[in-house]
Copies of this chain bind each other. A is one copy, B any other.
Amino acid sequence: MTGLREQILRIAQEARAAARQLASISTQQKNQALQAMVKGLRQRREVILDANATDVESARQEGLSAALIDRLTLNATRLQEMEASIEAVVTLPDPVGEVIRKWQQPNGLVIQKVRVPLGVIGIIYESRPNVTSECASLCLKSGNAVILRGGAESFRSNQAIGSVLRDALRSAGLPEAAVSLIPTAERAGVDAMLQLDSLIDVIIPRGGEALIRKIVETSRIPVIKHAKGVCHVYVDDAADLAMAQAIVMNAKCQRPATCNAMETLLVHERVAKTFLPDIIRHLQEAKVEVRGDERTRAIVPGVKAATEEDWVTEYLDLILSVRVVSSLDEAIAHISRYGSSHSDAIVTKDEAHATRFTQGVDSAAVYVNASTRFTDGFQFGLGAEIGISTDRLHARGPMGLEELTTYKYVVHGTGQLRD
């Protein structure tokens, strides 16, 4: 066993011990620690910004794209947002201890299904230092210990933030090991973590397909994937076309770099000739590059041809693929074949069509007459989220505090025996 492996084993063991403590501490204590984190971040802004400046400088030298450098960069405003996001978690209700269900069996046993923390959560994420404090605060509030592993480019920023968070935990009388960081930017650190299935209960990876693929292949720990969103809007033959236009523009353009933005527009053939020329003009005016199938290009000449690759691509950019379909069923079949089970919408005035769509499309969120952009913990009223699960087990869609918990059965008897 190498030194690094031993180090990560120790981190996980300490996290496990911390998780046992966290499971039974009061909401007040957790909130005090969260407030100490806010205070710490405020007091040590300079240290964090210095560390971040070094990260940004290295990233520039390594030639990272402007978009990635933007996500990596901290400044006074972003630090304030990080502080505000922890303060928002303070105000969220504590899910731990909730009696989800309580009933009595005929033999007199009283069974309670009680919400408890998951335990130790491993989170692997992009080079976005603000995610470090967001994930830490959500895990703490839900009574979990967390082991964080941000992108290599943000290593120094994360170390600085992590140090503030751990000092805050200690000052609030909680175990520092409630929040740990993998102490290396090397890939071997992740690999070692992914073997520790007796100490870590779940891995939540956020990021690109290749990263998530590698994690799924390597991990012995259950993984809740936060993978890509290839989201669709289907404009039905019974659609209100003005509404459809507004939803399409919002789903594509309001914030194209998010996973719940639309990547493919499907239009019923009966309304295609009316709908497509206008919407494509509007999209192009909004600087969206449109790629269409043959039928789209027959209606709107000059549109670039979409390839098979386009239908499975998460552009995260001002690009849209467009396809004309002959029926609602063809739309559902397209989504089932090419989609990523994230967020998909139908625009229709026909309730029967809406029902067939919501039953037939197997996505975390299925919309009738609304933009796909609403798939989000805040927009759903669940509070802050750790991310959006594209998996089926345990949690689908936005994962808030409740989704970071599990349950146990607490059974009270008066001496009951099994016959």
Residues of chain A at the chain B interface (Cβ within 8 Å): 20, 23-24, 103, 105, 109, 111, 116, 118-119, 197, 201-202, 216-217, 220, 222-224, 240, 243, 246-247, 250, 254-255, 336, 354, 358-360, 362-371, 373-375, 379-381, 391-394, 396-397, 406-419
Contact = CB atoms under 8 A, between A and B. Distances in A.
Contacts of A105: 379-381
A28 B147 CA distance: 47
Contact of A408 (B362, B373, B381): B362
A15 to B, nearest CB: 14
A217 B217 CA distance: 10
Contacts of A409: 364-366, 375, 380, 396-397
Complex copy number for this chain: 2
Given A247-B417, A418-B250, A109 B374 contact: yes
17 contacts: A23-B362, A119-B392, A201-B392, A202-B392, A255-B418, A354-B412, A363-B408, A366-B409, A367-B411, A370-B415, A371-B416, A371-B417, A371-B418, A393-B393, A396-B406, A396-B407, A397-B408
A260 to B, nearest CB: 9
A371 B108 CA distance: 13
Please report whether the interface of chain A is mostly helix, strand, loop or mixed according to DSSP: mixed
Contacts of A406: 392-394, 396
Contacts of A414: 369-370
Contacts of A111: 380-381
A362 B21 CA distance: 11
A307 to B, nearest CB: 22
B362 A417 contact: no
A254 B118 CA distance: 33
A225 to B, nearest CB: 9
A180 to B, nearest CB: 19
Contact of A116 (B24, B216, B362, B365): B362
A217 to B, nearest CB: 6
B216 A367 contact: no
A20 B362 contact: yes
Nearest to A412: B368
Contacts of A20: 336, 362
A99 to B, nearest CB: 12
A415 to B, nearest CB: 4
A396 B413 contact: no
Contact of A396 (B224, B364, B391, B408): B408
Contacts of A360: 24
Nearest to A195: B217
Contacts of A247: 415, 417
